[in-house]
Structure 1
């Protein structure tokens, strides 16, 4: 069997198309990015595009799936490096975000950006974006569960805290994008710290009340 070594027909062409699509849609948006621009930046032939993807939307969904994996790995690793306790890891998430906000290639959340351009809820691109947020929430929830186990918040409150945390994360991303201020992450961190303090105070109050009633 003869295996083609033509770069236009190997897996390398697919990866270059994904790289180009991700870079262009993240910087310029989905609707502003055409197939010709993606093919041109990738250095592949237009025929190669149709060999690997049935449509532009299919390419973009695949590019976002790959970005989700890379972004989550980066965010989880950065969070775990920020502290040994659940509280320091939760707050450290915003320090990780600030580094991203201060980088030259920050253009907001690719998944929120994509959702803003795609109106149909069951569109594959929207599905990938929704799954990314669900995955992010799952990770945040896992740290909130650890925080609950340490006594910092009630087990019942861990789910609510994780949802609030996701809102703070996405809110910080949006503010940083519009304002150009990386310190939006620090403002979100300060609000997050107040959430933790309030949750801890609530746990302490309930514990004190139970002791008095016995």
Structure 2
């Protein structure tokens, strides 16, 4: 963890510690005692802020959503997405954005896919938060496409499904699988961008 947490308020310290542990090692594998020890707080302090592990999991997902979406929008912006908004070929920027994430040393896949697999049926609100996260991702992708495009949301949904597939493949580990995941995604995005291109009327 690069950030020095010692000066942060207890709740924020617990949440950021849990974020890193849950994402790196999994929600089920990370017990409350480990979070308490790593956060350097007492049990009384922990339970004052998070009455149960489920409460901490929900807070983790809310924090992860805000953090990841901020990164996603910024990563697109750094590649000129704002200037190319409305150009369907801007969809191809998504492959470069995912390549940046997949090669991050702390990449462990999508926290929301992981959370649904682990606790989606047992932690109230977890699956709903995952759906909301994916819905917002689709909205950001749709903003890359022309607003007049009739199939705009359908294409954004297809791109999002492609991203999720690439995430899972990259999560399997190894530089070769990461490269394949990015290139597979790039091919899909190119096909979607071509599908969004206006067609010329047939010549007489």
Q: Does the CA contact (< 8 Å) of 1:140 and 1:162 recur in 2?
A: yes
Q: Does the CA contact (< 8 Å) of 2:142 and 2:153 recur in 1?
A: yes
- Give the secondary structure class of the aligned counterpart of 1:156: coil
1:158 to 147, 152, 174: 152
Gaps of 5+ in 2: 1-5
Q: CA deviation at 1:167?
A: 0.5
Structural RMSD (CA): 2.3
Matched, 1:48 2:48: no
Structure with larger RCO (C-alpha < 8 A, sep 6+): 2
Residues of 1 paired with 2:89 and 2:9: CA distance? 41
1:81 to 74, 78, 82: 78
Q: Does the CA contact (< 8 Å) of 2:79 and 2:93 recur in 1?
A: yes
Q: CA deviation at 1:88?
A: 4.8
Residues of 2 paired with 1:60 and 1:44: CA distance? 18
Equivalent residues, number: 193
Q: CA deviation at 1:163?
A: 0.7
What's the TM-score once normalised by structure 2's chain length? 0.86
Matches within 5 A, 1:42-121: 42-83=39-80, 84-85=83-84, 86-120=87-121
Matched, 1:167 2:168: no
